[in-house]
Amino acid sequence: IEHGYAQCSIEKFQCKNGQCIASELLCDGRADCRDMSDETFTECSKPEITCPDYAFRCSYGACVDGDATCNGIKDCIDNSDETLSRCTGTLYNATTLCAKNQFKCNNGQCIAESGLCDGIADCTDYSDETFNQCGSLICPQLFFRCHYGACIDGDLKCNGVKNCADGSDEDPKLCRDIASTSDTDTSFFTTTTTTRTPPIITTISAPTSCVVPQQPKNGYWKLHKSLCCTEQYGQPCEHCDVLQGIQLPPGAYLVYKCNPGYRLSGSSDVFCSRSGKWSRIPVCTEIRCEGLESVSTLAECTYENGYISCINSVPPQTRAILSCRPSYNRDTTLFSRSEVTCNKNGTWEPVPMQCIPVCGVQRPDTTPLIVHGTQPKISEFPWHATLYRANNATAPKEFICGATIIHESLLVTAAHCVYDDNTKQLSDPSLYYVKNMYMVCTYFGFEGNYAGDIAILEITEPFTFSSVLVPICLDINNRIILDSGSYGKVAGFGRTALGSSSYILQSITVPYVPFNQCKSSSTVYETEKYITDDKFCAGYTNGSSVCDGDSGGGLVFYKYGLWYLKGIVSVSLGTKNVGGVRICDSYSYSLYTRVSNHLSWIQDIIFKFKAQKPISSC
């Protein structure tokens, strides 16, 4: 509730805490509001508060009996009627000249120059510790700068004692980890026995003032209270308004806030620099919740009893009912709800449910079932993709490899499909019309015997899954153990028995080959070096095998009612390099990259992609 006159009856003043008092008690030197909001610089410095000739005006603007000064009684709430030079028995001549190493106070008093802007008031009128005197000072490193500009030892900050004249070194906002204590002593300054360290006053060009900025759209700023209430003596003080066009000196401190329904983008504290420029000014942006509708999720949203689209961001109080699109299921591993509301902070509550793709599922009408492969139905391998390459935008695209969909935006393939053995690094992603490519950093191609032959492709536009476009399942818990008798399926557009690449997707069912049998076969071709720790053998030696062009495709196994990716076509044991070109032998076993060896790496990339965190590249 705004305090002032609006909420109370005529001739009543409303305190900030809601209490109503008689208007004649406003700014009379005594706190009649329990929160003392009737005796503040903000209220008592307003133009309508004027003092008669016989009255004394307190430092913060209140009016008290002119005969009450220097009577030993605190008639002003800030005690300014008892801190005059004539009250202390010491009178100063305003025309007196001070020595070169002294500072002349506003009342004529001379103090040591080392006492200027050190946090302790040496002038009886406190004029050595004001923004006018200290606002343009530069404090050395390890020192703390009080709001009005004085410099104190940095170790004195938040030590429970007010070492700045305005107490800004004990500001609860600054010392939020330290319990703030209310000082029952109404005096503004606390006498301390700290060693004085004079501020560094450098010889620099005269500072340039800052013209107050325009009020922000959908918000406002005020001058910081430390500059509004120089002499509040520990009493409550508020930020104040400044007229447009006013120029403020360097060090001036503005505090920005936004109107209800908006949030601040940037720091709320804006300072005037010595070059006459304000630090970065924040903006007020509307508070909205992010859109919930996506390729996986449907959202029926209402706002103020009417329909509103949830494709884009929506205002607070929007209600949404969520459901999963076809080919997606609700993620039951998360504690979430299907009915959510956008709160005033711009977040949905409770946590909205997540929809995850149905993986490893074929259409019911498929018939379970390359060289000597068979032609499958299009829906038998809904996770299979093909990778093409074009050297430029106008060049014809060339078929390179197969790939397997594991996420709306991610596919897995063999690293050798996108690796340049000459430059020893990944090729340019734009050649494949993909956004990014990632490989394990231990992959070195032919020189490294194709160990770690796995790569992940990030596409520009995500897939929308359906009954004929489904990701493969990953065996996260490694529950499927491959052994003799395990049969998997692989699809591709590789070389056929006629020697040319197939224009129609081919598939083949291949058995898992035990390690000893695989190793024994490799001695014939002297290719044992390719059986690295992350490889396993599968296939036949009768000419029915994966071959050139099948590389990167996924070897999938059926278990628990779903298809799982366990291998990626890498190299053949009969592979030969002729003139730098790899030649496939379809009468030898094929080597597959064992996906389980790289699951942690795959999961890390998926997690970082979902969280929009940077993904490291080699």
Residues designated as active site:
416, 453, 551
- Amino acid letter, residue 251: G
| Residue recorded with tokens 């190299």 | 571
Q: What CA–CA distance (Å, rounded) separates 569 from 547? A: 9
Q: What is the largest distance, in Å, between two alpha-carbon atoms of the chain?
A: 118
Which one, of 360, 411, 357, lies nearest residue 556 by Cα?
360
How far, CA to CA in Å, does 191 sit from each of 185, 194, 611?
Answer: 12, 9, 53
Phi, psi dihedrals of residue 405, rounded to the nearest 5°: -75, 125
Which one, of 420, 433, 347, lies nearest residue 390 by Cα?
433
Q: Which two tokens stand for residue 68?
A: 């009450």
The sign one gets for the Cα dihedral 139, 142, 147, 152 is negative
Q: Which two tokens stand for residue 418?
A: 């996108």
Q: What CA–CA distance (Å, rounded) separates 81 from 70? A: 6
Burial 85-104 (b: 16+ CB within 10 A, else e): bebeeeebeeeeeeeeebbb
**DSSP state, residue 4:** B
Yes or no: say if 103 and 109 are a contact pair by the CB < 8 Å rule.
no
Q: Is the peptide bond before 198 cis (omega within 30 degrees of 0)?
A: no
